[in-house]
Amino acid sequence: MIGLVGLALDFYVIAGVMGPPQNRSLLSFLVYYWSFLTNLSNTVLLLVYIADLSGARWLGWFRDPVTKAGMAGIMMLVMFFYHFMLAPYLPELPQAIEISNILLHYVTPVLFVVWWAVWSSHGTLRYRDVPLMLVPGLAYVAYVELRGPLAGEYPYTILDPGYAPPGGTAAGPLTVAISVGVLVVLVAIFDLLLVFIDGLIAPRQRRAA
């Protein structure tokens, strides 16, 4: 519910800014909206919760322990990246966006990790699962880099090879590749930690059962 509120606030404000003045179609706007990792990952969290509560067969991928742990790692990245790389440099924003940022970048990541630790089943994750846990994040980066030149826009400057700070030069593909590599290593560390925690929780969960 918290994530849904945050996504709705974000949708409302972005729709107001990106609507008629830029003459975007609904499809174009939705693609733009979900090009942000924050919005996309929080939407996936909603599907994980729905899959777990409903048991729907077609949502089976979202119930998979590797998917859940992988999303926990991505949400940790969302929180850390926002806190250290985005928040300090943001201008004054509409109150709805301020609330949305808090909900989507701090509240939902922490709540999801707590939910995963307390209510998700444990004991099946292995360190060899870490590459699979990284796949959604890598697929997201590939999508952004393929879409960027075609759409002429990138959701984050760190992923834009053509971005140049005032008075500076364009980042270039190599800088983007290095930045992505650093983020992948960070998520891999989170994922390794989650697998370790999964192994610690599993015996206690079995005893409680």
Give the pLDDT confidence of 21-42 residue by residue, as tens digits: 456 788 888 898 899 999 999 9
List, in sequence order, the alpha helices (H) in the chain.
2-18, 26-33, 37-54, 60-63, 65-81, 95-102, 108-119, 130-151, 172-208
Alpha helix stretches (DSSP H) within 104-129: 108-119
Q: What is the pLDDT of residue 5?
A: 66
Could you tell me the two tokens for 168? 């500076």
d(CA 43, CA 48): 9
Q: Are 191 and 69 in contact (CB under 8 A)?
A: yes
pLDDT score of 207? 80
Q: What is the pTM of this model?
A: 0.92
pLDDT of residue 121: 93
Cβ-based burial of 175 (10 A; exposed 0-12, middle 13-18, buried ≥19):
middle
Look up residue 65 and give its two tokens: 């322990």
Q: Which of 69, 13, 14, 10 has its CA nearest to residue 43? A: 10
Cα–chain center distance at 83: 14
SS3 45: helix
End-to-end CA distance of the chain: 28
Answer whether 70's CB lies under 8 Å from 192's CB: no
Share in percent of the chain as helix, strand, coil (round to 5)? 80, 0, 20
pLDDT single digits (tens) 130-160: 999 999 999 999 999 999 999 999 999 999 9
